[in-house]
Amino acid sequence: MKHSLRRFSVAGLLLIGISASTFAQSAEPINIVTTAVPFLRISPDARAGGMGDMGISTTPDINSQFYNVAKYPFMKSSAGIGLTYTPWLKDLGLNDVFLASLAGYYKFDEQQVISASLRYFSLGNIQFTDALGNDLNQFNPREFGLDLGYSRKLSDQLSLGVALRYIYSNLAGGASSNGVSYKAGTAVAGDIGLYYTTANEEGQGWNIGAAFTNLGSRISYTSDATQKNFIPANFGIGAGHTWVSNEVHKITLSGEINKLLVPAPPGSTGDQSKDSIAYANYNSDGVVTGWFKSFSNNALAYSVGGEYMYNDQFALRAGYYGESANMGKRSYVTLGVGINYNIFGLNFSYLLPSGNGVNRNPLSNTIRFSLLFNLDGNMETGTGE
């Protein structure tokens, strides 16, 4: 499908994380923290999407790889696969822009688990034009992240997990602009997670999780070594509690906080010479230096959510997501439902529309869905355990 240049520009800005506004409901300028490959920050499954985009400390499920790989050893089933499809920018009438994800795990025994996942983001078919509006060529910008993880129990209540990720991002397909040739960017990153639970056989108890995600190299779209972008390294921590009544009613309430481990770019001073030097210094920062410098900004996001489960078959979910001004100051409410039958599970989520312009979430008015397969028996909970 052919898109107009204007529509591509809107989608592209959202894709590469460049905010079109430096004001967030205030007359004071806000220095937004931006990264490359922001699709790695999108919740890629419908269960988390219905609970305020949280997954670090919720009960384990098939899609744990995307949030906290350490949760897998507490899965009751020995293997599972999950597939999710998320339409993107439906409010703009774009029908071929989407995020798709695939995750799976296999338990060697009660202690060790191997897992893998794939996230694929497609921006649709784009018509490139020159400055005069003449057609040049068409291209399908796309990105993906491929993961492999390993996790194991350290005790009956504590587990540790690690994952390695390969990231590929091709936004311009070799196009050139102002004498600069653009190429596909690649990066390598890793995750480290911890998960602690006091849940009994019925599932009642506390769940606590912490995870470092996307700790890795910077990514570049040109041959200029000084023009490298940070990827969305993140530290998240959360806790939740599940109450069980009459063995058929389960209520879980959870909360999480995430800190983006990326330094804020230098703000504009109006002096081009000073701004150039400041930006060059920013680009020269190493990855580890950037993690430590990130604590000088307030790039925080937080989520609260709940899940009601009936007879391990039907689930109702709701959540709230908010973020600081340095993250864009978005906030929204999410809803979700889930159903399990035999070896299959289905989850749906819906994001209530909120915000305007660049503060409006691209998933507003979008229904996303996940299909789950338990490979060794019946679905035991609405989470796909």
- Over the chain (385 residues), the average pLDDT of each successive run of 10 is 39 40 43 89 93 96 97 95 88 80 96 97 79 73 96 97 97 69 90 97 95 95 82 97 94 97 84 78 84 90 96 96 88 94 92 70 80 77 46
Looking from the CA of 320 toward its CB, the CA atoms found within 13 Å total: 4
Asked whether the beta carbons of 52 and 303 are under 8 A apart, the reply is yes
Query: What is residue 305's three-state secondary structure?
Result: strand
Helix (H) or strand (E) holding 112: strand 112-122
Model pLDDT, residue 231 = 96
| Rounded Cα–Cα distance for residues 106 and 375 (Å) | 9
| Rounded Cα–Cα distance for residues 147 and 161 (Å) | 13
- Residues in the chain, total: 385
Asked whether the beta carbons of 170 and 141 are under 8 A apart, the reply is yes
User: ∠ CA(147), CA(116), CA(56), 5° rounding?
Assistant: 80
Residue labelled with tokens 């000088």: 296
Asked whether the beta carbons of 131 and 176 are under 8 A apart, the reply is no
Helices (H) and strands (E) in the chain, counts: 4, 20
| Rounded Cα–Cα distance for residues 142 and 119 (Å) | 11
Give the residues across from 254 on adjacent strands. Answer: 240, 305
Amino acid at position 259, single letter? K
Q: Which of 159, 146, 76 is nearest to 115 (CA)?
A: 146
Q: Two tokens at 242?
A: 């599940």
CA 241 to chain centroid, in Å, comes to 23
* H helix runs in the chain, sequence order: 5-16, 46-49, 272-284, 287-293
Model pLDDT, residue 179 = 63
| Rounded Cα–Cα distance for residues 156 and 327 (Å) | 37
Q: Which of 306, 210, 225 is nearest to 257 (CA)?
A: 210
DSSP E strands in 271-378: the ranges are 300-310, 314-323, 331-341, 344-351, 367-374
User: ∠ CA(350), CA(118), CA(285), 5° rounding?
Assistant: 95
| Rounded Cα–Cα distance for residues 81 and 371 (Å) | 8
| Rounded Cα–Cα distance for residues 47 and 369 (Å) | 8
Residue labelled with tokens 């492999």: 148
Cα separation values, 82 from 143, 379, 384, 385, Å: 20, 12, 9, 11
What domains are defined for the chain? Answer: 5-374 (2.40.160.40)
Model pLDDT, residue 170 = 92
